[in-house]
A and B are shown apart, each in its own frame.
Chain A
Amino acid sequence: MLDLSKYQSIGAALKDALDQFAEETCLIESDREREKERLTYREFKERAHPLAKAQQDAGFQAGDRAAIIMTNQSKWLISAYAIFYCGGVLVPLDYKLTPDEQWQLLQHSSASVLIAEYPIWRQLATAGGRSTATSLRTILVSEAPPNADLAGARRWEEFRGGAAPGFVLRARKDPATIVYSSGTGGRPKGCVMTHENYLEQCVALTSIYPFAPGMRYLSILPTNHAIDFMVGFFGPFICGATVVHLRTLRPEYVRDAFPKYKITYVSLVPLVLKNLQKGLQARFDALPPGKRKIFNALIAVNKVLTKNRPHLALSRRLLKQVHEAFGGELRAIIVGGAFSEPQTLQFFYDLGIPVANGYGLTETVVAVTVNDLKPFRADTVGKPLPGMEVRIVNPDQEGIGEVSVRSKTVMSGYLNDPELTAEAIVDGWFMTGDLGRFDPSGHLQLFGRKKNMIVTEEGKNIYPEDIESVFESLPVKEFCVFAANYVWPQRSMVREQLVLVLHLEPGQALTDELRNDIAARNSRLLNYKRIHGIVVFDEDFPRTASLKIKRNVLAERLAQLDRAAAILPL
C-alpha cells in the first residue's frame, strides 16, 4: 500500500499506484458468463492518459468540474482517473435518477464535461432539462452503436489525445469531488469533498480492512456511491488490488462471480444482504434432518471459536460448503448505505463470514465508525475509526443525543449553500441529525433520526421536500410529506416510511377519487421514493411569515395523534 501521508491529491496517489503495481491485474469486467475485459495497472494507464490529454486539449483545466453518469464498469474508473490527472473536480451522479433529476444536478454542479453511457445519454438528450446545463461544453458518450445519433456528443472511445498529458497537482484542501447526498427537489445537497477527506478516510479504513495485490473486490454498489468509490476504486487501487465489475446484476450472475473470481471483499446494501440471508436460510431449511443437525452443530462450534474474533481459516474448514459458494476467499462483506438489522449481521458472522458494518454519511466520505470484529458486535455500528472524534450532543437521561463528528474526513461544505453548511457544521463539528449513544465498551449504538428524512434499505436518502412537487395541485387545502419516524420516533433505523399529511377543504372527504389521484401521482415517483400512507389532519398547518410550513411545529402537533390509527394505508 502507498503511504498516503506523502500525497497531496487523489490523482497523485493513483498516478504512483499505476506505476508501482504496473503488472498487477487492475480491472476485470464481466457481462453474464462472458469476460469482456481484463486490464493490468499499466493497461489502465494506457487507456486513461489519451483521454486526459484530449480533455486538456479541449480546454479542461484545474478545478473544472466533470460529471460521470455510468453503471459500474472500467470506463467509469478510467474516466475518473483522467479527470483527477487533469486536476479536475469529479461529480459522480446516480445513474438511477430520472433524466430531469440528472439535468438538475448537472446544472447545479456547473459541470463543464459530462461522461455517460449511450443508453443513459439517449434518455438525457431527449429530456427537457438540457438547456439548463449552460456550463456543459463537452459530452462524451461510451458504447454508442455505429450509426447512433449522438445529439451533439462525442464518442468516448475516439476522444484521445496523441501526446502525453501534463499531470496537474492539487492541494489537500482543494475540492476533489461534489457528491450529492440527496437528489433533487428544491435544494440539492452537493457535498464538496476535498482530496484530504479521501486520503484520510482511506488510511483509516485500510487500517482495519486492508487490500493487497491479489485481492479482489466485487463492485456491485453504484460507483457514484461513496462506499464503492472508496472501496471499489481508490482503496484497492492504492494497494494494487483488483476490482471486478459485472455489467449485469442479476442475482444468478452475482452468485456465480464469487467462486469464479475468488472474491475477497464485496459491499452490499442491507436489502441485498437480507435477500442473501433469505436464500441461504431456505437452502439450510431444505437439508435432510440428519444433515441439518450436523450443520447446526458445526455452526454452534464456529460460534464458540469465533466468539472473540474471526478465525477465517477455521470457519472455512468447518463450514466448507457455505464458504465455497462464496469462492472460499471472502474475508468480509462490507454493508452500508443504510442501517442493517443485527440478526442479519449475526447470521453471517455465525457462518464465519464477518460483516463490516459501520456508520457514516456522504458528508463524512464513507465511514465514521466501523466494527473492528474484536469482538463482533451485531447490535452496534462499531467504534470510531482512527482520526474520528465522535460525541453525543445534548444527551438525555439514557445518554442518547445527536451524533456529531469532527475529523479530516468531514466535507468542506454544501455547494453554493452557506446557510445549510452553517447549520450542518457547527464549530468544526458535523451534526449528523442521527440519534445515538456510546455503550460502556465505546461502541456507537443508533436510535433513530432527529431529521425529517428516511434512508431506504437500498441505501437511498429520501428527503420529503424532494418528492412533494409530485403532489402539487392536489385538490386539498394543503399537504405535506413527513418521515413517519420523525413525527412518531421509534428508536429504530429500519422500516422507515414516508406519509402524506392532508388537510382537506371544509366538508371534503377522503374519497376513492382523491385516493386514486394520490396513488397515480405516487406511481410517478421512483419506487423507493413513494409514500406509504395518508394522514388526515383537521387543522391549518402552522406557517412562517413567508408562508412556508413550519414542519417541526406541525410534526409536534401530529405526534399527538395515535400513529397506528392516524396512518391510513394508501
Chain B
Amino acid sequence: MRTVEQTTQEILDLASKYFKVPAGSLAPDDDFFKKLGIDSLQTLELLSHLENHFGIELPDYEVQGVSDFRTLALRIQSRL
C-alpha cells in the first residue's frame, strides 16, 4: 500500500511528464491550473491518466473544486 506521500509524488511525476514541465518543478501545494497552465478539460485528461496509473475510478464529483496536487492525492488515496 502506498503512503499518501508516495501517491502525491507519483501524481507530480505523472503531471510533469504528461504536460512536459521539468521534473521537480511541481510541489504538492501548487495550484495545477496555474502551474501547468491548463483548463478544466485538460484537467479531465490528467484525471484519466491518473486513473489508469493507479487502477481506480475517480468520479467527477470527487475532484470538483480541487485545484492542488495534495488534495487530489488525498482523494486518490482514499480509493486505493
Contacts and interface: CB of A to CB of B under 8 A. Distances in A.
Nearest to B68: A523
B31 A275 contact: no
Nearest to A70: B61
Interface string B56-68: 0101111011010
Contact of A250 (B31, B47, B62): B47
A322 interface: no
Contacts of B3: none
Contact of A248 (B31, B59, B64, B65): B59
B70 to A, nearest CB: 13
Interface in A485-510: none
B54 interface: no
A403 to B, nearest CB: 29
B41 A527 contact: no
Interface string A73-110: 00000000000000000000001101000000000000
B33 interface: yes
Contact of A119 (B34, B45, B59): B59
Which has the most chain B C-beta neighbours within 10 Å: A117, A248, A251?
Answer: A248
Interface residues of B, number: 18
A272 interface: yes
A409 B39 CA distance: 33
B61 A119 contact: yes
B48 interface: yes
Contact of B60 (A247, A251, A272, A275): A247
A248 B47 CA distance: 11
Interface string A9-47: 000000000000000000000001000000000000000
A248 B48 CA distance: 11
Contact of A271 (B31, B41, B61, B64): B41
Nearest to B42: A275
A504 to B, nearest CB: 24
A272 B41 contact: yes
A458 interface: yes
A252 B40 contact: no
B80 interface: no
Contacts of A272: 41
A58 interface: no
Contacts of A177: none
B60 to A, nearest CB: 6
A-B pairs, top 9 by smallest CB distance, nearest first, are A119-B61, A527-B33, A523-B31, A250-B48, A250-B44, A275-B41, A248-B60, A249-B60, A251-B45
Interface of A: 32, 71, 95-96, 98, 117, 119-120, 247-252, 271-272, 275, 458, 523, 526-528, 530
